[in-house]
Chain A
Amino acid sequence: MMRRTPRPLERLMGLFFSACGLTAVAFVLLISLYLILAGVPALRETGLPDFLLGRQWSPTAQRPEFGIAPFLLTSVYGAAGAVLLGAPIGLLCAVFLAKTAPPRLAAAVRPAVELLSGIPSVVYGLVGMLVLVPAVRRCFRLPDGAGLFSAILVLAVMILPSIVSVSEAALRAVPPEYEAASLALGATQIETVFRVTLPAASGGVAASVVLGVGRAIGEAMAVLMVAGNAANMPSLFKSVKFLTTAIASEMSYSSGLHRQALFSIALVLFFFIMLVNVLLNRLLKRKGG
């Protein structure tokens, strides 16, 4: 006798919420679709092997060449360098916060880490450009400090917060019984942390590092301001261009095949990031299971 069928408003809102849920999926599909549509023409024009492995990037030359090996290698080296520098420091900081710091001190340091992650990337870029780059130039007696090394330093600082917070969460999730057993067998607290807790949290720690790699590969503005922006093959103190900065610095004046090639770079970058995301998902799932 009572209402069996939902009122129109109820049905309408149900539809609205379903639509909202599906928008997220639609956006991912749209972004992928458009990047592929925009990126494939230049790939077809130059040929995938030549595009990925070509060492020469001279889009505005008489006979333009589109080889993105310099950008690819720079991005890989940059991310690797940033992780090599940032991961140990971040991990140690996470251990400090999760295990050895007095709670009061940890409560003071943790907001600092969060704040570090909230600083806009252009601000990192500005400080890098005016403080770090001159310092690097003076320290190593270079004609110009802007280059891969400065970029790695800036990236290392920028990925610190994500490494610290994800690793700390992983360390905290380790069951206390493990540590109790180790302590009862006579290991000191430090030994317990490094021999028992860290290995048990390795999945989460690996996830934090992968997250850091993703951040480092995707960062554009800060790197744009400190890397020098010349399409050189990467070397520690040379001016270089990353995948991201190639797009950011050339998009405004590019046209024709050059512009299409920049979209292809974005496609390559997107592919990289998707790879990193899948890996991250795997690691987090494994930790959960």
Chain B
Amino acid sequence: MSTQTLSRARWVRGCILRLLLCLSAALVCALLAGLTGYILLRGLPHVTWQLLFTQSSVLRGTRGILPNLLNTLYVVLAALALVLPLGVGAAIYLTEYAASPRLVRAVEFAAETLAGIPSIIYGLAGMLLFCQLLGLGTSLLAGSLTLAVMTLPIVIRTTQESLKSVPQSYREGALGLGSGKWHMIRTVVLPPAMDGIVTGCILSAGRVVGESAALLFTAGMGMSLNRFFASWENFAHSSGATLTVALYVYAKERADFDTAFAIAALLMLFTLALNFTAKWAGRRLRRRKGERNE
């Protein structure tokens, strides 16, 4: 009798917990679906050719985000170009060269610390270091440099993981045949680790596209069209708002919510696209690893 009531209590408790588990997972999914749906529904109708391919004009009363689109593209490309050699180099150093474990620990700790620093602090540090100390002023270059530092830990981590997955026997084989260390890395270690580096790139690009707080004081809020690659002066000295910063400016300072939602919808689409690409690259990486282990 007593065991029966006990087991019923247990059964009820089990059911309640199970229900809670399902509810919380459903809540997370509903949040994502609601957010995505709402943003796309409100934003996509306002994504027009005019918005995408012109710049805002007060005279004609039109809105355009072409400058911001281009700024985002420049910042992504510049940040990646800066962070790739640095991050991949640091990862190679950690897995191939570093002799003292203490040094490895120091570099890994530094990378973890960089990953934990909030973006607003990057914004301030970037402003102090790049804008003021190096005299770059509020410019896209300063913004790109700041974001390169911010994405450094991502590239280091993903590259390091894929370098570690290259079998030791490859290296021994190459060295045994008389290859130098750099020659071995270039020909034997890096090619199979390429997928990891690509994943790191995509993750960093996603982080850069979504970043705003670090750019507010480094790349600034310039909204006009610049021909950045026309001259070094343009690139190094003109401020420019990326899509995220433009969203903030339109929503908070100009109360133009239609444009803000249009930008938000574009950002969501970019996020989705980058996410899927990263997943695809990750799957390829895992498949390769599976082949190698067989």
Contact = CB atoms under 8 A, between A and B. Distances in A.
Interface stretch (A13-21, A51-59, A230-238): A13-21
Contacts, number: 243
B244 A118 contact: no
Contacts of B128: 34-35, 38
A167 to B, nearest CB: 12
Contacts of B109: 281
B209 interface: yes
A34 B156 CA distance: 24
A131 B38 contact: yes
Q: Which of A101, A129, A247 has the most CB of B within 10 A?
A: A247
Given A6-B180, A126-B261, A27 B35 contact: no
Contacts of A77: none
B143 interface: no
A2 to B, nearest CB: 8
Interface string B110-122: 1111101111111
Interface string A175-195: 000000000000010110010
Contacts of A24: 90, 107, 110-111, 114, 152-153, 156
Contacts of B181: 6, 10, 13-14
B210 A121 contact: yes
A140 to B, nearest CB: 21
A10 B183 contact: yes
A162 to B, nearest CB: 11
Contacts of A123: 35, 39, 247, 264, 267-268
B105 to A, nearest CB: 11
B86 interface: yes
Contact of A247 (B92, B116, B120, B268): B120
A208 interface: no
Interface in A111-162: 111-116, 118-123, 125-127, 129-131, 157, 160
Nearest to B109: A281
Interface string B156-184: 10000000000000000000001011110
A220 B119 contact: yes
Interface residues of B, number: 89
B117 A270 contact: yes
B53 interface: no
Interface in A202-223: 214, 217-221
Contacts of B93: 17-18, 20-21
B121 A269 contact: yes
A123 B206 CA distance: 14
A89 interface: yes
Given A126-B260, A127-B35, A18 B121 contact: no
Contacts of B267: 119-120, 122-123
Interface in B21-80: 21-25, 27-29, 31-33, 35-36, 38-39
Contacts of A111: 275, 279
Given A109-B28, A218-B119, A247-B124, A100 B210 contact: no
B116 A118 contact: no
B21 A219 contact: no
A164 interface: yes
B236 interface: no
Given A23-B90, A126-B247, A96 B268 contact: no
A99 to B, nearest CB: 8
A164 B32 CA distance: 14
Contact of B28 (A14, A116, A190, A276): A116
Given A17-B96, A96-B21, A220-B213, 15 more contacts: A14-B97, A16-B89, A30-B129, A101-B25, A121-B212, A122-B247, A122-B264, A123-B39, A157-B31, A188-B14, A214-B116, A219-B118, A248-B120, A248-B123, A277-B113
14 contacts: A6-B181, A10-B182, A16-B89, A17-B96, A22-B107, A24-B90, A27-B152, A28-B114, A120-B212, A125-B248, A191-B14, A220-B118, A248-B123, A263-B124
Interface of A: 2, 6-7, 9-10, 13-14, 16-25, 27-28, 30-31, 34-35, 38, 88-90, 92-93, 95-97, 100-101, 109, 111-116, 118-123, 125-127, 129-131, 157, 160, 164, 188, 190-191, 194, 214, 217-221, 224-225, 244, 247-248, 251-252, 263, 266, 269-270, 273-274, 276-277, 280-281
